[in-house]
A and B are shown apart, each in its own frame.
Chain A
Amino acid sequence: MSSIILPELHYAETHEWALAQDDGLVTVGITDHAQQLLGDLVFVELPEIGRVVSATEGCAVVESVKAASDVYCPLDGIIVEVNELLADNPELINQDPYGEGWIFKLKTTSTLDGLLDATAYQAIASADDEEDEDSGSLTDPRLV
């Protein structure tokens, strides 16, 4: 199972991606690798706008046909926008995880430098795949 990892994004080991926009906001979503592990998404619980979140805090939930999984905030900040389209179209995350399937936007004073780059995230995703093939397990450590 090979997945797309974009070089221009930053990543968290919990399979979120982050992109610093020109307006200073940071867009967050889950990676192609994550959506492949989860399978078809059927529900997204979005965070409330204005919520103050800390790095590594669970702030959204994506539910697939298989299980529910937390989406962790990669940085400290405030939720300023959420992708309302996901309420009725959670499959956007499967179809376009780095584009139409973005989940929320964060106002933050943190930089993305502390996150993983594409090469480092690739190593994590590849290790996952090997483990997945070895065990054939249903259990992704992120699945709650």
Chain B
Amino acid sequence: MAKRTPLYARHLALGAKLVDFGGWDMPLNYGSQLQEHHQVRTAAGLFDVSHMTIVDFPDPVATRALLRHLLANDVARLYPGKALYTCMLNEAGGVIDDLIVYDRGAAGYRLVLNAATRDKDLAWIAPIAERFGTAWRERDDLAMLAVQGPEALDKLAAILHPATLAKVNAGRRFHAVEADDGLFIARTGYTGEDGVEIMPAAETAPLLWDQLLAAGVLPCGLGARDTLRLEAGMSLYGSDMDETTTPLVSGLGWTIAWQPPDREFIGRAVLEQQRTAGIPQILVGLVLEQRGVLRSHQPVYDGDREIGLTTSGAFSPTLNRGIALARVAADAGDRCQVEVRGKRLAALTVKPPFVSHTG
């Protein structure tokens, strides 16, 4: 049977359309995916993302050494409260998963990994952590709620303890705060909007969910989450990158910390070879010039030459256009054609994000 989050009963009561996502019964939408998308771009939306994998490493010193080896970005860049987006690579430089690391100071580090990759991630991490003598614990006792949108922080004001609210308001993007009662609130998300990801104890999550709805935050499903992240140019693991692609061919070169040169993180040797030899492909954004929808796995052409494939595609509700991420030859020009149902449709090549939050 599929796994269920602590908010499963809430989704049922709200009439959500439920789908299987990485072995979890998750809400796809609560009626209209388009409305939910616009809600997050213009006001605030609430997502149950409790299916995500949370892993805590309580020992800051041992874990720092472990993570500097395990991850392509460098946790030496962190300080207490700061978050870091990174890939976890195999020896061939392929992406096992992408994740966020939070520096919790004396309390160690927290990793948030994808749901569908949980088993292989933990199987990868466990022996390496053992070699470093680092303790870790999966936090399946925690839920995770994302409140996203330009009004997200205003809406939180109605439900947070004043002392916690003050901490959140004093915090910055891509930082996390921990309330006196232990509630973990990170200024992160997967929508391109300002907002937070809150990690309450599973048993208190339904109450928090109810309070957020009462404050006027509307529930949003994974369907809207996908179009929001795509508009924001954020990668989706398993679509835009996987174990066969390096960050360099996935638009994620910026997440690799090359300095210092003597930091031996897993996959480094292959990445350096690829960088020296020349990166054969790049991940670009495509915007359809005419009305239509792009999907993943559609061939991309430059005239007669097939130059790549789309990796994610959707109809952008904000732009009212078909958009996609595509892995194409590194010498691709600024125009291309995407094959949709046997027809070649003209598209512009752009550098993501497609939609920028300016607030």
> By the criterion CB–CB under 8 Å, are B295 and A68 in contact?
yes
Chain A 36-49, CB within 8 Å of chain B: the 1/0 string? 00011011010000
Q: Which chain A residue shows the least CB distance to B340?
A: A68
Picked from A40, A65, A87, A136, the residue with its CB within 8 Å of the CB of B20 is A136
Q: Which A residues lie within 8 Å of B295 (CB)?
A: 67-68
Q: Indicate whether A40 sits within 8 Å of B34 (C-beta atoms), given known contacts A68-B293, A136-B2.
A: yes
The winner among A61, A65, A67 for most chain B CB atoms within 10 A is: A65
Q: Which A residues lie within 8 Å of B242 (CB)?
A: none
List the count of A-B residue pairs having beta carbons below 8 Å apart.
51
**Cα distance A87–B34 when bound, in Å?**
17
**Cα distance A88–B321 when bound, in Å?**
11
> By the criterion CB–CB under 8 Å, are A42 and B28 in contact?
no
**Cα distance A45–B341 when bound, in Å?**
11
- DSSP majority for the B interface? mixed
Which residues in window 15-60 of A have CB below 8 A to B? 39-40, 42-43, 45
Q: Which A residues lie within 8 Å of B227 (CB)?
A: 65
Q: Which A residues lie within 8 Å of B78 (CB)?
A: none
Q: Which B residues lie within 8 Å of A87 (CB)?
A: 291
Q: Which chain A residue shows the least CB distance to B226?
A: A65
Picked from A42, A45, A91, A136, the residue with its CB within 8 Å of the CB of B25 is A136
The winner among A63, A88, A91 for most chain B CB atoms within 10 A is: A63
- B252 on the A face (CB < 8 A): no
Q: Which B residues lie within 8 Å of A40 (CB)?
A: 32-34
Chain B 1-38, CB within 8 Å of chain A: the 1/0 string? 01000000000000001111000010011001110000
Q: Which A residues lie within 8 Å of B292 (CB)?
A: 43, 45, 63
Q: Which B residues lie within 8 Å of A137 (CB)?
A: 19-20
> By the criterion CB–CB under 8 Å, are A42 and B293 in contact?
yes
Whole-angstrom distance between the Cβ of B283 and the nearest chain A Cβ: 23
- B60 on the A face (CB < 8 A): no
> By the criterion CB–CB under 8 Å, are B314 and A65 in contact?
yes
> By the criterion CB–CB under 8 Å, are B223 and A65 in contact?
yes
Q: How many chain-B residues does the 8 Å CB contact rule pick out? A: 22
**Cα distance A12–B105 when bound, in Å?**
63
Q: How many chain-A residues does the 8 Å CB contact rule pick out? A: 17
Q: Indicate whether A136 sits within 8 Å of B18 (C-beta atoms), given known contacts A39-B29, A39-B33, A42-B315.
A: yes
**Cα distance A87–B292 when bound, in Å?**
10
**Cα distance A40–B28 when bound, in Å?**
12
Q: Which A residues lie within 8 Å of B293 (CB)?
A: 42-43, 63, 68
- A138 on the B face (CB < 8 A): yes
> By the criterion CB–CB under 8 Å, are A43 and B291 in contact?
yes
Picked from B19, B315, B341, the residue with its CB within 8 Å of the CB of A136 is B19
Q: Which A residues lie within 8 Å of B322 (CB)?
A: 43
Q: Which chain A residue shows the least CB distance to B28?
A: A138
Which residues in window 54-108 of A have CB below 8 A to B? 61, 63, 65-68, 87-88, 91
**Cα distance A68–B2 when bound, in Å?**
27
Chain B 270-294, CB within 8 Å of chain A: the 1/0 string? 0000000000000000000001110
> By the criterion CB–CB under 8 Å, are B223 and A66 in contact?
yes
> By the criterion CB–CB under 8 Å, are B223 and A39 in contact?
yes
**Cα distance A67–B29 when bound, in Å?**
14
> By the criterion CB–CB under 8 Å, are A65 and B315 in contact?
yes
Whole-angstrom distance between the Cβ of B25 and the nearest chain A Cβ: 6
> By the criterion CB–CB under 8 Å, are A138 and B29 in contact?
no
Whole-angstrom distance between the Cβ of B41 and the nearest chain A Cβ: 15
> By the criterion CB–CB under 8 Å, are B20 and A63 in contact?
no
> By the criterion CB–CB under 8 Å, are A138 and B19 in contact?
yes
> By the criterion CB–CB under 8 Å, are A65 and B34 in contact?
yes
Whole-angstrom distance between the Cβ of A143 and the nearest chain B Cβ: 11
**Cα distance A65–B34 when bound, in Å?**
8
**Cα distance A45–B28 when bound, in Å?**
25
Whole-angstrom distance between the Cβ of A95 and the nearest chain B Cβ: 11
Q: Indicate whether A65 sits within 8 Å of B33 (C-beta atoms), given known contacts A39-B223, A42-B315, A136-B2.
A: yes
Between A and B, 30 residue pairs with Cβ closer than 8 Å are A39-B17, A39-B33, A40-B32, A42-B34, A43-B291, A43-B292, A43-B293, A43-B315, A43-B322, A61-B341, A63-B292, A63-B293, A63-B315, A65-B34, A65-B227, A65-B314, A65-B315, A65-B317, A66-B28, A66-B33, A67-B295, A68-B293, A68-B295, A68-B341, A91-B34, A136-B18, A136-B20, A136-B25, A137-B19, A138-B20
State the A residues within 8 Å of B (CB). 39-40, 42-43, 45, 61, 63, 65-68, 87-88, 91, 136-138
